[in-house]
Structure 1
Amino acid sequence: MTENKTSAVEIKGSEDFKVVRKFGLNLVFSKDENIIQYVRKIIKQLHKWIFSRKIEWLTMLIVSKETEEISEKWMFHIDVISDTSEEANLDLGSTTLTPIEDIQNGIQTIIRQISASVALLPEFEEPQTFSILVHTIGDIAHSKDWSDAGDMEDLSGENIESVQFNNFKTDVHKVSTFVTYKTRDL
């Protein structure tokens, strides 16, 4: 497992975000240049690992700044369908690849589900940070911004809920998305 070494990034209030229309959806983006640069670095490395078939899971941990306990764990399982897979025999020159419209519709569906679920998740009562963990396949080379991570903790305690979202599949990848979170005592 590999972890971005950049110190955990603090989650800001709603005033630090802007709504942008993208992929046919209204999405919320950070206005904070440090967060934007942090995410860009991560996406650049993820792109390399995904296309070299070295990534298995992407996990975003939302952690209490005070107690360092995990409040939410977002997991994205990225199953790269290999050439020898029984599910698919990928021929990059083939015309049977998933149409771009189907890919965009699948991505939109997942984004809609995540957006809808965020509105239902408990609000945080204390400051939170987030960090990114990437579970890679085998030994990989990584930049100085990344390091080997220790064992990942799970959410602990009572009132833990999990939600699995729809899977998204192309001829190359299958992505499964999950969120596990602590419910708030009322």
Structure 2
Amino acid sequence: MYSKDMRVFGRLPTLASGVTNNGASGIQSMFLNSKYLKAAHELLEDVVNVYQTKLGKKSGGKTMLIRESSATGSGDGSVDGERNGKCNSELSTVERQDIQMKKAKLIKILDEICVKDMAARTVAKDIITLRGSAAIVSEFFGYAANSILYNRGVYPEESFVKVKKYGLPMLLTQDEGVKSFIANLTAQLSEWLEAGKLQRVVLVIMSKATSEVLERWNFSIETDTEVVEKGVSREKSDKEIMREIQAIMRQIASSITYLPCLDEPCVFDVLAYTDTDVAVPFTWIESDPKLIANPQMVKLHSFDTKIHKVDTLVSYKNDEWDE
């Protein structure tokens, strides 16, 4: 449905390429430089210093070199020529108790590190930010577009390669023009999603000969405005989001079972429905919505990051034999 509160844009044919990748989490680095490991290191140094001070006192302040094996020492059992009996290396009861207390404190610190590390990893996986959600949704559009183009036969089967994504085998085009188009598409969609300006994305399949619209793959987007306006985050696990996306991808892959066969050469276009005040790059132009008269519709699954909810619907031209 087209509204006066939105604008519809299509892509110009010439595009600049560019793909971005998300970096890995820095949790491990954070803990390696944390106050906990610093405190543990200081405790260990304290224990070593107590022991070395004791040895220094017993040896009259002379430098001692402790070897790994007695075979490296002198024949009379001395260490570098200095006689050092067993009694000289023993610690007093007070010193032993002090070391035991430091050991207990060290163990407690290490336990805290483990607990906080596990908690941080759990939180990091469950927290969804606006930028993270925009990246998830725009990446989904890229893979969904590839899957639609493959499964609807818009491009030949041999021009795709198989990869694993969302725990599923996915097909990606190797056509350089299409790769560039989708890369630039997902980058722009991510920007609009992060700004809260994107309302819908539609992949349109048309007859190459007549430009008649045969199918419209409609992805409607609901955005949590509080996240956009206040910068707050939401919670949802990666696994739960992936399961929801898997359901959509499986429905796209099985589209041949519920959509009519496309028995003519086809081309595709992508439309973006945005807020009226959105900034539009020169590679996009205003477009009509490319609707289908009296279409048949199939509602597919949806997925929700808790910031962006994506509802999926495919509409297609009535087959004359179904009239």
Partners of 1:154 and 1:31 in 2: CA distance: 29
Partners of 2:289 and 2:200 in 1: CA distance: 12
Percent identity over the alignment is 29
Q: Which residue of 2 aligns with 1:169?
A: 304
User: Is 2:195 the counterpart of 1:52?
Assistant: yes
Deviations 1:42-73 (A, max 9, x none): 00000000111000000010000111110100
**Considering only CA atoms, is the larger Rg found in Structure 1 or Structure 2?**
2
Q: Which residue of 2 aligns with 1:11?
A: 154
3-state secondary structure, aligned to 2:306: coil
The TM-score, its normalising length taken from structure 1, stands at 0.84
Query: Gapped runs of 5+ residues in structure 1?
Result: none
* 8 Å contact kept, 1:20–1:27: yes
Query: Gapped runs of 5+ residues in structure 2?
Result: 1-7, 15-148
- Structure 2 CA distance for partners of 1:19 and 1:123, relative to 1, 3 Å: farther
Q: Which residue of 2 aligns with 1:156?
A: 293
Partners of 2:281 and 2:197 in 1: CA distance: 15
- What amino acid is aligned across from residue 75 of structure 1 in structure 2? N
Partners of 2:262 and 2:156 in 1: CA distance: 10
By how many angstroms is 1:170 displaced? 2.3
Q: Which residue of 1 aligns with 2:266?
A: 128
By how many angstroms is 1:111 displaced? 1.1
Partners of 2:215 and 2:162 in 1: CA distance: 23
Q: Which residue of 1 aligns with 2:232?
A: 91
Partners of 1:39 and 1:33 in 2: CA distance: 10
The 5-angstrom pairing of residues 100-111 of structure 1 reads 100-111=238-249
The 5-angstrom pairing of residues 14-29 of structure 1 reads 14-29=157-172
* 8 Å contact kept, 1:110–1:166: yes
3-state secondary structure, aligned to 2:185: helix
* 8 Å contact kept, 1:82–1:90: no
* 8 Å contact kept, 1:72–1:179: yes
Partners of 1:111 and 1:39 in 2: CA distance: 17
Partners of 2:263 and 2:301 in 1: CA distance: 29
The TM-score, its normalising length taken from structure 2, stands at 0.50
Partners of 1:172 and 1:154 in 2: CA distance: 28
- What amino acid is aligned across from residue 198 of structure 2 in structure 1? I
Give the length in aligned residue pairs: 176
Which structure would you say has the larger RCO, counting Cα contacts within 8 Å and 6 or more residues apart?
1
3-state secondary structure, aligned to 1:174: strand
Partners of 1:41 and 1:169 in 2: CA distance: 23
**CA-atom RMSD in angstroms:** 2.4
User: Is 2:224 the counterpart of 1:81?
Assistant: yes
Deviations 1:122-168 (A, max 9, x none): 2222110000000001222122211122x3132136xx421011221
Partners of 1:130 and 1:153 in 2: CA distance: 11
- What amino acid is aligned across from residue 72 of structure 1 in structure 2? E
- What amino acid is aligned across from residue 293 of structure 2 in structure 1? S
By how many angstroms is 1:185 displaced? 4.9
- What amino acid is aligned across from residue 91 of structure 1 in structure 2? V
After the TM superposition, which parts of structure 1 deviate over 3 Å for at least 4 consecutive aligned residues? 183-186
Partners of 2:318 and 2:171 in 1: CA distance: 23
Kindly indicate which of the two structures has a greater share of residues assigned to helix: 2
By how many angstroms is 1:22 displaced? 1.5
